[in-house]
Structure 1
């Protein structure tokens, strides 16, 4: 009896260990890091774009914290905020309160480009909060943006919670596909899958050209994964990519510009190395008069590189006169 009574207890213990182990494995698939997510879109977590998004979501305009600004994932938000805005704090709520007070005085209107980056930052925060909420129930949904036209999604059910995929809604020129039971299926609003363990699918965004040879433009897209445990959304910002033909044309223009620059440089170098020669304006005639058989008049109002000129009389002293500065003459090699 004693040994038999211990078997159910052992089975319960083993079951608990298996459930705990499975949940731990699921939790190893962490939600995206905010700083890393923003970096994919060339946004720094210390930039005004991100900080404005945090302020908009968690703070009042007077610098107080919103009463509904807490919740799951707040620690991740605080972690990405520079410490100069949070100061010392004992918990995430206090850190956000400190941030609201400190940053309220620094909020200002931003340019259109910064405003769009703020939108991206705000949507990234929403995605991570959705991910944390799902992981709170043991369910994992994450994504990876590979480039401007490809993204992947991964779903994992909880050990104790069922996960039903109830559709994938996508805006823009986006189509999604995945394997269900070994068969390829389109993942759109009509897809319905009972996730046994894991499920993945891939999405492709198609770009468009406004004209031949123009950049390939990818419009803004939102992909929402609908499940019985909650939704998960990816905000895919607009982007553009140069065509191969345009890249070739740009390369040719750069090569031509480099050639023209080399010619210009060859013409400029002598100008840079040119020297300067002082020029003087000499007076006309002699300052004195001598009775002599002949004379040589060296001062006759000429321009000269010499600062003096000379008048000479036969068997008399030489008269030296000063010439006035008239400017400089550039001498090129």
Structure 2
């Protein structure tokens, strides 16, 4: 099921921007999932415009700024029709293994200037704290972000991978427009507390990795044999060894539902996220990433699939049977602080 018909729109949060009901995660263009054909990636970006996918998501950590720089020409060409989201908070260095979590006010002020420069814009539509460092009070970090709103450098605030209690605390300092967390048939940690808080506060949820980093498409079963190059999934527990084999077996209900709709497994996984959000009374804008035009159009077509109650029931048990953690180190995720 693929189409170039534009997707419908929703408003992010209580007073956020109006965006397509599915967004685009640009991370994989620069690193983490192997080599990129830059020409194909630029063509894929143009396809977002055709499909009505208007929320474009990046971060200063992706490629250590290279992702923002890559997006700049596309942003300049389509600035009036896209909502630009980027993030701060994950500090990178020359050591590829290093990941620092920085939320101090001075760091945030430096980070936003770097993102504005690399993206070639005067204002960022949605600015996320990529990860939360509990050692830095929200009064300091959210206060600094609110100051950037007052200065006209950002329009709306977002958080990523926070608990429900943390979302409420941050929202009490300044309204939060969107929460970005992993949410899929394979990853439902966010439902522990953050989903309820987001619904209560009218904060939109922006699920990253709604396709389970590609696993829910059924395209591979073993990271060590099916993946190549500098692919981050080679290090992730769910994609390796016995975990991968057990998880691959969980996809059979997804394939069954896909066949009934003449759709792909990935489209069913995306449709599930949309309908799961409705159960909780949430506005949701998943941000699947891809470097292929055909896959972008396939993903956007998933917004027109409606799953039956019986199909939803068939898919419901999957997450509870998944083997392995999302990351080899879960310490910086909300799940570790629940």
TM-score (norm 2): 0.20
Q: Which has the higher helix share?
A: 2
Larger radius of gyration: 1
TM-score (norm 1): 0.21
